[in-house]
Amino acid sequence: MSSAIGDRRIARLRADAYRVLAGNWREGRLADGTRYGFTCPAPPRYRHQWYWDSCFHAIVWRHFAPARAREELRTLLRGGRLDGFIPHTIFWHDGAGWRRAPFYATHSLHGDRATAHIQTPLLALAWEAVAAASPDEPGFGVEALDALRLHYDWLECHRDPDRDGLISIIHPDESGLDDSPKYDAVFGWMSHYRPGYFWLVERSRRLRYDSRAIIARYDEHVEDVLVNVFYALGLRALARLSGNRVYDERAQRTEHALVARCWDEERGLFWDLAGRDHTPLRVSTWSSLAPLALSSLPEPIARRLIVDHVLDPRRYRSPFGIPSVSMEEPSFRAGWHLFRCWRGPAWMNTAWLLVPALRRHGYAAEADRIVASCLTLVERHGFREYYNPLNGEGLAARRFGWSTLLVDLLPSVADRSHEVPETPFHGNPREELLSMGVEAAAETSRRVGAAARKRLWSSQDGRTGGEPT
């Protein structure tokens, strides 16, 4: 692959990725002496430490500066509680602020140092990857075993009350896929992009975020496929790090439950299960494909996911990256929308999760095509938060940390990225607003154009029915 893409292009991409991560790096000490060091996803919009972003950042940092990768993960652990709970977002250097606080799932509206809800748990997976890149600190792999065990035990104890091996989320953003259309039917008016989300948070606040009590009292909770795939990957990593087979057995239970309960043989996709009745959420999103990342997945299932979905140009085979929602879904939206970002755009972590699985199953050419298209996206638009999978437009936040995951998909080349000067990046709210305005205008004009074409089309040829393309 390196020869096909060219070492110089890869070296340039690595230097740019380094510049983004280094510019977004924040370190310091709290008044009580607690140290922190982490990468903001994208200042000024995302200034705090997010759980899964940090894991992705560490996975990339390990290519450039393993010490930073270690500090990022240690900081995440430091933000957690002694009982094993690790928050979705931690506000280290910069409080949530009165304007933002109501948007965050915190215990109170001010003064909290972190949220009280979780995010997709891939810490052990990231820890293992960083440990493997830490010959300079051989003890790193085992130094946090107790804390990691507590974390995964907390998840099992608090988030799997029906003991079926699948953990639940109680807020849509706990998966990281905040406004995914797969949650519309469950959360309805309390969806992440609707005003009722405030009530969802308030409701959890009143129950002190006691997830067992919340799951028992309310029906809006989801056994999410993507969350459970990462949970299983984390348990497998923990088993390898600790040598404790119990975590392998737990991973196996989760993997088995995914196939036994979430797999739909007829549609050839995995569905999240909602509420106490385990109602399948039949909306095809990249979550439905995520079990491909599990090496235990039976071959016939993997093949169907790939052949019938990943390779189908009506579904997931888009010109750029992999869309977050199947292009065939009525809810699919490729472009920019206020507060909605997981309804179609291509994110880099999707390709990062699925491309290695494509290679493992013998689809190297398709994997290469996807990676090459991602490289084009970054070369044209930089490391944006997400991209339009149809026309390649770069969208939302700039200098977005986990988009550098592309580095992890490309071969390593001799480069001097670490010599790129570190310029702290703070972003500029005016520029952000301006670029959001431009994206919104482009999207609106596309929609107005599409509506006009549709009207014209139906007035010219109403006989055949169907939709213009």
Q: Does 176 bind ligand GLC (CB under 6 A)?
A: yes
Residue 211 CB, shortest distance to ligand GLC, in Å, is: 19
Segment 338 to 367, residues that bind ligand GLC, using CB under 6 A: 341
**Which of 140, 386 has the CB closer to ligand GLC?**
386
Residue 39 CB, shortest distance to ligand GLC, in Å, is: 10
Residue 455 CB, shortest distance to ligand GLC, in Å, is: 34
Residue 107 CB, shortest distance to ligand GLC, in Å, is: 20
Residue 383 CB, shortest distance to ligand GLC, in Å, is: 12
Q: Which of 178, 272, 415, 439 binds ligand GLC (CB under 6 A)?
A: 178
Segment 304 to 343, residues that bind ligand GLC, using CB under 6 A: 341
Binding residue count for ligand GLC, defined by CB under 6 A: 8
Are residues 133 and 142 in contact, defined by beta-carbon separation less than 8 angstroms?
A: no
**Which of 24, 373 has the CB closer to ligand GLC?**
24
**Which of 66, 172 has the CB closer to ligand GLC?**
172
Residue 351 CB, shortest distance to ligand GLC, in Å, is: 15
**Which of 37, 165 has the CB closer to ligand GLC?**
37
Segment 44 to 83, residues that bind ligand GLC, using CB under 6 A: 46, 50, 52-53
**Which of 327, 341 has the CB closer to ligand GLC?**
341
Residue 359 CB, shortest distance to ligand GLC, in Å, is: 25
**Which of 60, 241 has the CB closer to ligand GLC?**
60
**Cβ neighbours for 408, distance < 8 A, ≥ 6 positions apart:** 59, 60, 63, 352
Segment 247 to 286, residues that bind ligand GLC, using CB under 6 A: none
How far is it, in rounded angstroms, from Cα 13 to Cα 381? Answer: 12
Q: Which of 37, 41, 80, 335 binds ligand GLC (CB under 6 A)?
A: 41
**Which of 79, 165 has the CB closer to ligand GLC?**
79
**Which of 179, 443 has the CB closer to ligand GLC?**
179
Are residues 134 and 70 in contact, defined by beta-carbon separation less than 8 angstroms?
A: yes
- Which residues bind to ligand GLC, rule: CB under 6 A? 41, 46, 50, 52-53, 176, 178, 341
